[in-house]
Amino acid sequence: NAGVTQTPKFQVLKTGQSMTLQCAQDMNHNSMYWYRQDPGMGLRLIYYSASEGTTDKGEVPNGYNVSRLNKREFSLRLESAAPSQTSVYFCASSEWDSGWGNDEQYFGPGTRLTVT
């Protein structure tokens, strides 16, 4: 089991360029998430997908789009990168446990993005 994988690990973009961050999980989880981590800010939710075919905005969705390609894959797209999007991006997945209603989220290793 690889768990949650993310590509690329590092990326440098110029302002205005576009790119897609890829995320895949092999745990058959229904829910997937994208976060950004900035110094002193903790993790903030960008978008999430409760199940295949659905996506919803999180706390900081502006400047991003997402696609839930299938149950395994959830991609994050920056259409026109800005320096304010310099951050570390984490993908996560989880499965709702009907027994108690909450389950932990499993995180990928992250993508470090710099926009110049």
Site of interaction with other proteins (CB under 8 A): 4, 30-31, 33, 40-45, 48-51, 54, 56, 58, 90, 92, 94, 96, 100-110
Token pair for 50: 């409760």
DSSP one-letter code for 53: T
Contact 116, 15 (CB under 8 A): yes
Q: Could you give the CA distance from residue 93 to residue 34 in angstroms, rounded to a whole number? A: 9
With respect to other proteins, which residue has the nearer C-beta, 19 or 50? 50
With respect to other proteins, which residue has the nearer C-beta, 18 or 54? 54
With respect to other proteins, which residue has the nearer C-beta, 16 or 109? 109
User: Shortest approach of other proteins to residue 14 CB, angstroms?
Assistant: 25
Please count the residues of the chain.
116
User: Shortest approach of other proteins to residue 23 CB, angstroms?
Assistant: 11
Count H helices, E strands: the chain? 0, 11
User: Shortest approach of other proteins to residue 76 CB, angstroms?
Assistant: 15
